[in-house]
C-alpha cells in the first residue's frame, strides 16, 4: 500500500447527500423567514462548514447564522440524515482497502455525531476505524484541523506520518486542507465539487468512479 492512513470526506465522496442537506437548509431559512439563494448549484454549500454557508452564501449576521445552524441541525437530525445513500462501489472499495492493511477514517466538517449516525444508518460502521468531524460549537470544522485529528485518532503521529496519509474528497475545501497539511490529495469526479477548483488547490489525481480509487491508492 502506498498509504497507511486514508481519510474519506463524507458528503459527495462516500455518500450522496445533496437531498438531505438542501432540505435542511431550506427548512432553516424558512424558519428564519429568509429568502433562500439559488440552491441548484451544490458546489456552493456542500463541502463548506455549515456556519460558513449561513454567513457567506445566505448573507446572515453571526447571531442569525448560529440560529440557522441550529435549525438546520434539528431538521437534519430528524429528517435529513436519513436521505443519505452510499455511492455504488464504496463498500467494496472500503473492504478491499481494509484487507490490504490500510487504516480508514471519515474526515468531514459535518458535526461528528451526525457523521457517526450516518455511517451507522448506511451499515458502514465496520468499514471505518474512526469517524472524525466538527464539534457542536463549530470548532474543528476546517480540513486543516480535521486531517491531523483523524490521523491521530487512527493511532498515527501526524508529524511523522504525513507521507503515509492521503485525503480523498470532492471539493476544493478538501483539496485545500490537504495542501495546508502537506499531505497527498485525490479528488473524486463523481461528487458535488468543481474539478477546476480542486486543481486550483493543487489536486492532480482524480478518480472517475469509486472503483478507480483502488488503482490510485495502491
Per residue in 154-177, pLDDT (tens digit) is: 999 999 999 999 999 999 999 999
Residue of 9, 11, 161, 174 with catalytic role: 9
Q: What is the pLDDT of residues 55-97, one digit of tens each?
A: 999 999 999 999 999 999 999 999 999 999 999 999 999 999 9
pLDDT value at position 191? 95
Q: Percentage of the chain with pLDDT > 70?
A: 100
User: What does the pLDDT average to over 139-165?
Assistant: 96
Q: Which residue is listed with cell 463524507? A: 10
Is the predicted pLDDT of residue 138 greater than 80, yes or no? no
**Residue 137: pLDDT over 90:** no
Q: Averaged over 97-126, what is the pLDDT? A: 96
Complete domains list, the chain, with CATH: 5-16+84-217 (3.40.50.1000), 18-82 (1.10.150.240)
Whether the CB-CB separation of 197 and 171 falls below 8 Å is answered with yes
- Does the pLDDT of residue 43 top 90, yes or no? no
9 is catalytic: yes
Q: Binning pLDDT at 50, 70 and 90, where does residue 100 land?
A: very high
Closest CA to 206 of 4, 97, 215, 41: 215
Chain-wide mean pLDDT for the chain?
Answer: 95
pTM of the model: 0.91
Nearest CA among 63, 74, 87, 98 for reference residue 23: 74
Amino acid at each position: 500500500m502506498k498509504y497507511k492512513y486514508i481519510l474519506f470526506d463524507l458528503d459527495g465522496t462516500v455518500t450522496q447527500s445533496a437531498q438531505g442537506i438542501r432540505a435542511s437548509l431550506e427548512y432553516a431559512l424558512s424558519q428564519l423567514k429568509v429568502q433562500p439563494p439559488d440552491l441548484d448549484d451544490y458546489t456552493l454549500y456542500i463541502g463548506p462548514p455549515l456556519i460558513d454557508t449561513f454567513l457567506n452564501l445566505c448573507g446572515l449576521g453571526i447571531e442569525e447564522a448560529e440560529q440557522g445552524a441550529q435549525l438546520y441541525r434539528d431538521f437534519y437530525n430528524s429528517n435529513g440524515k436519513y436521505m443519505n445513500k452510499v455511492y455504488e462501489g464504496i463498500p467494496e472499495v472500503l473492504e478491499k482497502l481494509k484487507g490490504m492493511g490500510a487504516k480508514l477514517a471519515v474526515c468531514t466538517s459535518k458535526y461528528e455525531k451526525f457523521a457517526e449516525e450516518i455511517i451507522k444508518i448506511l451499515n458502514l460502521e465496520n468499514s471505518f476505524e474512526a469517524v472524525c468531524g466538527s464539534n457542536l460549537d463549530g470548532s474543528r470544522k476546517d480540513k486543516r484541523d480535521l486531517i491531523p485529528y483523524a490521523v491521530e485518532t487512527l493511532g498515527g503521529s501526524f508529524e511523522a506520518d504525513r507521507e503515509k496519509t492521503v485525503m480523498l474528497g470532492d471539493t476544493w475545501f478538501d483539496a485545500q486542507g490537504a495542501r495546508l497539511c502537506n499531505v497527498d490529495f485525490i479528488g473524486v469526479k463523481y461528487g458535488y465539487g468543481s474539478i477546476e477548483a480542486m486543481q486550483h488547490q493543487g489536486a492532480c489525481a482524480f478518480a472517475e468512479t469509486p472503483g478507480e480509487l483502488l488503482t490510485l491508492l495502491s
